[in-house]
Amino acid sequence: MPGAEDGFCHTDRIVGSIVDMAGVSRAKVLPISRLPTFVDSGAGASPSWTVFCVDDHLAFTPSFSVVGDLRLRIDGDDVRDLGNGTYWAPACLTEQDGTPSLACTRYALRRVTARLAESGLTARIGHEIEFALFDAATTEEWSAYGLNAVLTQEEFIERLLAAASTAALPIEQVHAEAGLGQFEVSLAPADPVEAADNAVLARALISRIARAQGLRASFSPMPVAGGAGNGAHQHVSFTEGDLPILSGGPGPHGLTPAGGAAVAGILRALPEFTAVLAGSALSHLRLRPGMWSGVFRCWGLENREAAVRLCADTAGNPHGANLEIKPIDPSANPYLSSAAILGAAHDGIAGALPLPDEVSVDPADLTGAVDLLPTLPSDVLGAFESSALARDLFGPLIMEALAAVKGYEHAEYREKPVDEVAQRFRYAWTS
């Protein structure tokens, strides 16, 4: 509105963003009057956006170079109001003729959900958003899950809930996590693409409100070396026709044969997808026993050290049975991590894989009986690059870009002192 009190002219804006292979959101802003252009023709984006690394280095490959142009396009139905004249929508990458780019991770997730639909399956996903607030003197009044913690940050929480309501972001709960200054926001389950959009939006709102409060929000897998990690767990559920496959069946805790096969498919594929789920040069610092990050390649009812925690259908679980996939961290592109999990579950169901034995104790007590997910760069990258399932789900362009980005990040940073790397990238995934 011209002539506003601060003496500046104001105009509404529309921001469209994508998430790249490093898990960083990259954006373009147009005046709101040009929203139809953002929808119909899109805003220009170099193909090199896809090979930006966490430090903004470009990991060029034969398919991603200085030549060419893609479009960043939004859908008018996806626009959310962030307040103060800023509107936001998740963008897709298209070719100049408007066809989907094979480098677009949002399209990749759509393709996987369509594949599920062809088999009569529908998935829903609820994201957990963990982050640490810094520069808060209030961290001196802090207890894990503490009432003191949520009360000292009540203004931040109030503003976040108000902004979420304006932006139609379905926040279910907020709590103080185990780490100093660490919080978690849980989002309601939704269609997988919408759920990933919501995860991106949640980070933008959290980052923005933190800044307005004089705080800084870190979505790093390891904000401070030696501290608590930030996870980005996803709660996944499936129905076949109208029936849930994770409850009402003859298997353990009500799993149906398809539900058991989904668990088996996810467990089988986890090493191939560690590059996608927790593939940054900091991720290995979190992916360790005792961190509740699900580094153990097993499943168990309410087992918080298992990669796949089954949350059964009980009165205390209003959304019904679901699988919490714990190894995922916030450096993951949420579209690709969901595509990986859903594709792996689908693969397990298609192959009628048998459900592995449940682990109902801390897997660390079974002294070596349960495998750990890979964390050495050569293992993580090697398993990804030789994965036929990843190639099938993502296609060659995303494979090429993700391998180049993660390969660079590990080569550049894995040998450096962890304190230095954690500090350097503390805010790399902040929006």
Work out how close the CB of 429 gets to Mg ion at its nearest, in angstroms, rounded to a whole number: 16
Asked if residue 90 binds ligand GLU (CB under 6 A), the reply is no
Q: Please check whether residue 58 is in contact with residue 41, taking contact to mean a CB–CB distance below 8 angstroms.
A: no
Q: Which is nearer to Mg ion, 61 or 186 (CB)?
A: 186
Could you say which residues in the range 29-88 bind ligand GLU, by CB under 6 A? none
205, two tokens:
């709102």
Q: Tell me which residues touch Mg ion (CB under 5 A).
A: 184
Q: How far is CA 114 from the centre of its chain?
A: 20
Q: Interface with ligand GLU includes 229 (CB under 6 A)?
A: yes
What minimum distance in Å lies between the beta carbon of 166 and Mg ion?
25
399 interacts with ligand GLU by CB under 6 A:
no
DSSP letter (8 states) at residue 72: E
Check residue 223 for interaction with ligand GLU (CB under 6 A): no
The smaller minimum CB distance to Mg ion, of residues 230 and 431, is found at 230
CA distance 345 to 116: 9
Which residues between 4 and 33 bind ligand GLU (CB under 6 A)? none
Q: Which is nearer to ligand GLU, 50 or 283 (CB)?
A: 283
Is 228:314 a contact under the CB 8 Å cutoff? no
Residue of 322, 353, 327, 351 whose CA lies nearest to 340? 327
Does residue 287 interact with ligand GLU by CB under 6 A?
no
When CB distances are held under 5 to 8 angstroms depending on the partner's kind, the choice from Mg ion, ligand GLU, none that residue 304 binds is ligand GLU
> Which entry of Mg ion, ligand GLU, none binds 20, CB below 5 to 8 A by partner kind?
none
Minimum CB distance to Mg ion smaller for 94 or for 218? 218
Q: Which residues of 77-102 are buried (b: 16+ CB within 10 A; e: fewer)?
A: ebbbebeeebbbbbbbbbbeeeebbb
Considering the complex, state which of residue 10 and residue 304 has its C-beta at the smaller distance from ligand GLU. Answer: 304
427 binds, among Mg ion, ligand GLU, none (CB under 5 to 8 A by kind): none
Task: Give the C-alpha distances (Å, rounded to integers) separating 360 from 80, 303, 341, 397.
Answer: 42, 7, 22, 40
Q: Cα–Cα distances in Å, from 373 out to 165, 166, 187, 368, 402?
A: 38, 40, 26, 12, 19
Q: Are 343 and 247 in contact (CB under 8 A)?
A: no
The C-alpha atoms of residue 334 and residue 50 are separated, in whole angstroms, by 15
Q: Which of 39, 224, 228, 269 binds ligand GLU (CB under 6 A)?
A: 228
Interacting span for ligand GLU (CB under 6 A) from 78-86, 284-292, 343-351, 388-396: 284-292
At 335, list the tokens: 């579209």
- Determine the longest span between alpha carbons in the chain, in angstroms: 69
Which of residues 237 and 303 has its CB atom nearest to ligand GLU in the complex?
303
Q: Are 53 and 82 in contact (CB under 8 A)?
A: no
Kindly state the smallest distance separating residue 182's Cβ from Mg ion, in Å. 8
> Is residue 186 near ligand GLU by the rule CB under 6 A?
no
How does DSSP classify residue 351? T
Helix 105-118 / helix 192-212 crossing angle, nearest 10 deg? 150
- DSSP states along 150-209: HHHTHHHHHHHHHHHHHTT--EEEEEE-SSTTEEEEEE--B-HHHHHHHHHHHHHHHHHH
Minimal distance in Å, beta carbon 158 to ligand GLU?
A: 23
Query: CB 292 → ligand GLU: shortest distance, Å?
Result: 4
Beta carbon nearer to Mg ion, 60 or 142: 142
Nearest to 24 by CA among 46, 56, 64: 56
Interface with ligand GLU in residues 292-311 (CB under 6 A): 292-293, 304
> Which one, 74 or 311, has the nearer CB to ligand GLU?
311
Q: Which of 130/272 has CB closer to ligand GLU?
A: 130
Q: Which does 229 bind (CB under 5 to 8 A by kind): ligand GLU, Mg ion, none?
A: ligand GLU
231 binds ligand GLU (CB under 6 A): yes
Residues lying near ligand GLU in the complex (CB under 6 A) are found at: 130, 177, 228-231, 286, 291-293, 304, 326
